[in-house]
Amino acid sequence: MNQMVTSDQLGVVRKLGYGVGDFGFGLFFLTASQYLLFYYTDVLGLTPSTAGWVFGLALVWDAVFDPVMGGVANRTRTRWGRYRPYVLFGSVPLALSWALIFLPTGLVGWPLVLFAGGAHILFRTLYAVAYMPYLALSAAMTTDTNQRSSLAAYRMVGQAGAGVLAGLSTLSFAARLGGGQLGFFRLALIFGGAAVLLCVIVYLTSRERAAVPGDRPSFAAMWRMLRGNGPFWLVCGALLIGYVAGVFFNKSIPYYVKYGLGRPDLIQKSLGLLALTVTLSIPIWAAIMRRNSKRGVFLAGSGIAMLAYALLWLLPSVSFWIPLLALLGLGTGGVYLATWAMLPDTVEYGEWRSGVRAEGALFGFVSLGQKTSLGLAAVALGQALGAIGYHANVAQSAGTLADLRLIMIGVPALFTAAMAGIIWFYPLNADRHRELVREIGQRRSAHDALGEGPTD
pLDDT at 215: 56
Report which of residues 225 and 305 the model is more confident about.
Answer: 305
- Same-domain status, 168 and 259: no
Residue 360 inside a domain? The answer is: yes
Distance from C-alpha of 336 to C-alpha of 286, rounded to nearest angstrom:
11
Residue 383 inside a domain? The answer is: yes
Distance from C-alpha of 36 to C-alpha of 101, rounded to nearest angstrom:
9
Mean pLDDT score of the chain = 86
Q: Quick one: average pLDDT of 5-29?
A: 85
pLDDT at 451: 55
pLDDT at 178: 94
pLDDT at 120: 96
Residue 4 inside a domain? The answer is: no
Q: Among 156, 190, 208, identify where a domain stops.
A: 208
Instruction: Please provide the DSSP assignment of 283-345 as one string.
Output: HHHHHHHHHS-HHHHHHHHHHHHHHHHHHHHH--SHHHHHHHHHHHHHHHHHHHHHHHHHHHH
- Same-domain status, 184 and 299: no
Residue 451 inside a domain? The answer is: no
Residue 5 inside a domain? The answer is: no
Least confident of 188-197, 250-259, 418-427: 250-259
pLDDT at 385: 87
- Of the candidates 312, 313, 288, 315, the one whose C-alpha atom is nearest the C-alpha of residue 300 is 288
**Count of structural domains, the chain:** 2
Q: Among 208, 225, 254, identify where a domain stops.
A: 208
Residue 113 clears pLDDT 90, i.e. is over it: yes
Residue 304 inside a domain? The answer is: yes
81-110 pLDDT, tens digit per residue, is: 889 999 999 999 999 999 999 999 888 899
Running DSSP on this structure, what letter comes out for residue 304?
H
pLDDT at 313: 94
pLDDT at 213: 47
Distance from C-alpha of 449 to C-alpha of 372, rounded to nearest angstrom:
44
167-220 pLDDT, tens digit per residue, is: 888 989 999 999 899 999 999 999 999 999 999 999 999 888 755 544 566 667
Residue 117 is part of which domain span? 11-208
Domain holding 355: CATH number? 1.20.1250.20
pLDDT at 450: 59
- Same-domain status, 51 and 143: yes
- Same-domain status, 172 and 267: no
pLDDT at 455: 44
Running DSSP on this structure, what letter comes out for residue 149?
H
Q: Among 180, 208, 236, identify where a domain stops.
A: 208
Q: Strand runs (DSSP E) across 151-221, as ranges?
A: 208-209
pLDDT at 383: 87
- Same-domain status, 222 and 77: no
Q: Quick one: average pLDDT of 321-339?
A: 93
pLDDT at 454: 45
Distance from C-alpha of 127 to C-alpha of 36, rounded to nearest angstrom:
16
Residue 350 clears pLDDT 60, i.e. is over it: yes
* pLDDT grade for 223, boundaries at 50, 70 and 90: confident
Contact 13, 205 (CB under 8 A): yes
Q: CB atoms < 10 A from the CB of 209, how many? A: 16
Residue 456 clears pLDDT 50, i.e. is over it: no
- Same-domain status, 140 and 254: no
Residue 229 inside a domain? The answer is: yes
User: What are φ and ψ of residue 5, in 5° steps?
Assistant: -130, 165
Q: Quick one: average pLDDT of 278-293?
A: 89
Distance between the two ends of the chain, CA-based, in angstroms?
28
Least confident of 330-334, 368-372, 438-442: 368-372
- Same-domain status, 178 and 256: no
Q: Quick one: average pLDDT of 21-26?
A: 94
CA angle 288, 294, 298 (to 5 degrees): 90
380-409 pLDDT, tens digit per residue, is: 888 898 888 888 788 888 888 899 999 999
Residue 385 inside a domain? The answer is: yes
Residue 376 clears pLDDT 70, i.e. is over it: yes
Percent of the chain with pLDDT over 90: 38
- Same-domain status, 124 and 238: no
In 3-state terms, what secondary structure has residue 455? coil
- Same-domain status, 227 and 188: no
Residue 443 clears pLDDT 80, i.e. is over it: no
* pLDDT grade for 363, boundaries at 50, 70 and 90: confident
56-72 pLDDT, tens digit per residue, is: 889 888 878 888 888 88
Rounded to whole angstroms, what are the CA distances from 11 to 15, 187, 197, 205, 206?
6, 34, 21, 10, 10
- Same-domain status, 342 and 276: yes
pLDDT at 214: 46
* pLDDT grade for 326, boundaries at 50, 70 and 90: very high
